[in-house]
Amino acid sequence: MVDKKEDIDLKLIKYTQEGLPVTKTPYKDIGIAIGISEEEVIQRLKNLLETGKIRRLAASIAHRKIGINANAMCVWKVSDERVDEVGKIMAKFEEVTHCYERPTYSDWEYNVFTMIHGYTDEECEAVIAAIKKQTGLNDCVILYSEKEFKKVGVRI
């Protein structure tokens, strides 16, 4: 059952997910468009951030366009008991934008995934070398994207 509160939150997200109005009073303008007050817009966005339903209210950058051209997915084979320890080390690198543990299969043994963004491949590989040094890990594969078929933000 969807209650009214969630209904308005959904309306708010749907109205803003393509972009906030870039005006002096964006929250007031959103409120006018969806029929709630500026205070309510601000309060609802605060709640959505606090409950983690939205991660950030921020800019998504076209990273390639500003020169961050390299995007390496580096996958690591890590023993179960070391996953937490090395995951934390990897996450500390500014260039590591995502770090996750994922399942393995008979033909896939790499369980820790890091996404590394940099201005060049060399910059990404320097980060990988530093991770190797700090963790003592050696078994990794660097996957570069050869072609981008789709890249959009998540929409609801």
Partner 1 sequence: MILCDTDRKILHRLQSNLPLVSRPFEALSKELGIDEDTIIERIKYMIDNKFVRRLAPIINTQAMGREATLAAIKVPEERIEEVSEIINGYTGVSHNYLRKGKNKDIPYNMWFTMSAKDDEELRSNLKEIEDRTGLVVRSLPTTKKFKIGVKFKIY
Binding residues among 33-72 for partner 1 as defined by CB under 8 A: 38, 42, 45-46, 48-49, 51-63, 65-66, 68
Told to check if 138 binds partner 1 by CB under 8 A, we report no
Member of 3, 79, 81, 150 binding partner 1 (CB under 8 A): 150
- Min dist. Cβ of residue 35 to partner 1 (A): 18
Looking at residue 82, what DSSP letter applies?
A: G
Member of 34, 101, 126, 132 binding partner 1 (CB under 8 A): 101
Member of 70, 76, 116, 117 binding partner 1 (CB under 8 A): 117
Please, which contacts does 82-89 make with residues 24 or more away whose CB atoms are closer than 8 Å?
Answer: 82/135, 83/111, 83/112, 85/135, 86/112, 86/135, 86/137, 87/112, 89/131, 89/134, 89/135
Q: How far apart are CA 21 and CA 23, in angstroms?
A: 6
Count residues near partner 1 (CB under 8 A). 74
Beta-carbon count within 10 A of 43 CB: 13
Told to check if 8 binds partner 1 by CB under 8 A, we report no
